[in-house]
């Protein structure tokens, strides 16, 4: 199917929507890694890299879907609530908007940076309003690699959000990230597994402050 703009296909958006209704966890390959704060995290191990792909399902209470989607897309606001952001901005390259994102890593590890494209679509499926945001790494010659910072070339994220029928949001997130360098895979997996629920918790708090800000 032809891309729906921004390098993503219509099918990719619909697949993210479908996960909200019926999680796609075929066979025994996906394993439940963690359940906390109303969030379930499943992992699929890549034998070649030793890294996990993640699928996250859960509910964020008192966080309206449209506000949650706005918070996720607002890069300037993210600099205020995400303590790991070193640098974050959008740039037009070759007629396409890309995002540059540098993430702080603890000493003695080097910071990582990403260049990725993203797209948000607000869909109406059988009367269900679903916000879908897709992101994946790309490369552009206008943003060169920096000394002392490791460029992440494998990054992919999907986020689907709808109302939980109350005042919260039902959320699905897919995430894969290969930070490269000499970090042991077990440490990467541990950080990702613990970091995902903390990220969602911080984003939930950011939603409350976003309403006050606007």
Tokens 């993640």 identify what position? 54
pLDDT surpassing 70 at residue 6:
no
Tokens of 182: 């000499």
- As a whole number of angstroms, the distance between CA 69 and CA 163 comes to 12
Domain boundaries, the chain: 30-211
pLDDT surpassing 80 at residue 186:
no
Q: First vs last Cα of the chain: how many Å apart? A: 39
Strand bridging mode 111-125 / 149-152? parallel
**H/E run at residue 122:** strand 111-125
Q: Are 62 and 167 in contact (CB under 8 A)?
A: yes
Q: 79-106 pLDDT, tens per residue?
A: 999 999 999 999 999 889 999 999 998 8
Strand runs labelled E in the chain: 30-36, 39-46, 51-60, 85-93, 96-103, 111-125, 128-137, 149-152, 154-163, 169-178
User: pLDDT class for 5, splitting at 50, 70, 90?
Assistant: very low
Written out in words, the top-level CATH class of the domain with range 30-211 is alpha beta
- As a whole number of angstroms, the distance between CA 111 and CA 166 comes to 40
**H/E run at residue 20:** helix 10-21
- Pick from 175, 173, 167, 164: nearest CA to 129: 164
- As a whole number of angstroms, the distance between CA 122 and CA 54 comes to 23
Q: 8-56 pLDDT, tens per residue?
A: 999 999 999 999 887 888 766 898 888 887 889 999 988 888 888 999 9
């Amino acid at each position: 199917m032809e891309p729906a703009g921004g390098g993503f296909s219509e099918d990719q958006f619909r697949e993210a929507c479908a996960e909200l209704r019926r999680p796609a966890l075929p066979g025994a390959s996906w394993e439940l890694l963690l359940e906390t704060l109303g969030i379930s995290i499943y992992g699929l191990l890549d034998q070649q890299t030793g890294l996990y792909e993640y699928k996250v399902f859960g509910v964020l209470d008192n966080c309206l879907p449209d506000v949650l989607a706005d918070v996720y897309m607002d890069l300037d606001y993210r600099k205020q609530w995400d303590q790991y952001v070193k640098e974050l901005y959008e740039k037009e390259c070759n007629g396409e908007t890309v995002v540059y994102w540098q993430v702080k890593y603890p000493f003695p590890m080097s910071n990582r940076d990403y260049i990725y494209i993203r797209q948000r679509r607000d869909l109406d499926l059988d009367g269900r309003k679903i916000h879908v945001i897709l992101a994946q790494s790309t490369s552009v010659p206008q943003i060169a690699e920096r000394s002392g910072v490791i460029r992440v070339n494998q990054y992919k994220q999907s986020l689907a959000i709808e109302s939980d029928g109350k005042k919260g949001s039902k959320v699905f997130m897919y995430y894969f990230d290969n930070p490269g360098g000499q970090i042991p895979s077990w440490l990467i997996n541990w950080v990702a597994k613990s970091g995902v629920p903390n990220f969602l918790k911080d984003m939930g708090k950011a939603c409350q402050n976003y309403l006050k800000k606007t």
